[in-house]
């Protein structure tokens, strides 16, 4: 089944972009900066809505995870689901993102900055796994 295009998907992805990475190029050289540690990296290709990677990251917290999804709208859902599971907030009723303290970040806001502790051990990337090679 094909997923419908997400309303304001790119803006939603931008708001939570501190949970994602833009490029696989040079990624392994930046692991400490991206995750705040040097734990071994595991990659999930085709993360879908992120259910598996969320469960795995809790089961094995001594690994860093990179979840790659080719379809941007699907990746947006995975990022939002992960942020929700980390207690970082939820979609705001009138658009944007609502933090646990009630702060609402409109869709046109700058990306929300989270600490490495808040981000946990998963990052997301929109891209084609064929580019890994």
Where does the pLDDT of residue 3 fall: very low under 50, low under 70, confident under 90, or very high at 90 and above? low
Q: How far is CA 44 from CA 1, 11, 48, 52, in A?
A: 21, 24, 10, 9
pTM: 0.91
| Structure confidence by residue, pLDDT tens digits, 54-87 | 999 999 999 999 999 999 999 999 999 999 999 9
CA-atom Rg of the chain in angstroms: 14
State how far the Cα of 109 lies from the Cα of 107, in Å rounded to an integer.
6
Residue 1 pLDDT greater than 70, yes or no = no
DSSP tag of 60? -
Where does the pLDDT of residue 130 fall: very low under 50, low under 70, confident under 90, or very high at 90 and above? confident
């Amino acid at each position: 089944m094909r997923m419908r295009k997400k309303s304001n998907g790119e803006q939603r992805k931008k708001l939570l972009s501190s949970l994602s990475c833009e490029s696989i190029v040079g990624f392994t050289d930046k692991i400490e900066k991206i995750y705040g540690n040097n734990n071994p990296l595991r990659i999930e290709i085709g993360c879908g809505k992120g259910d598996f990677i969320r469960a795995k990251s809790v089961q094995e917290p001594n690994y860093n995870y990179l979840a790659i999804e080719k379809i941007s709208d699907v990746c947006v859902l995975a990022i939002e689901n992960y942020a929700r599971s980390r207690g970082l907030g939820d979609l705001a009723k009138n658009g944007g993102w609502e933090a646990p303290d009630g702060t609402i970040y409109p869709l046109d806001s700058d990306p929300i900055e989270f600490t490495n502790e808040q981000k946990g051990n998963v990052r997301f990337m929109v891209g084609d796994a064929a580019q890994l090679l």
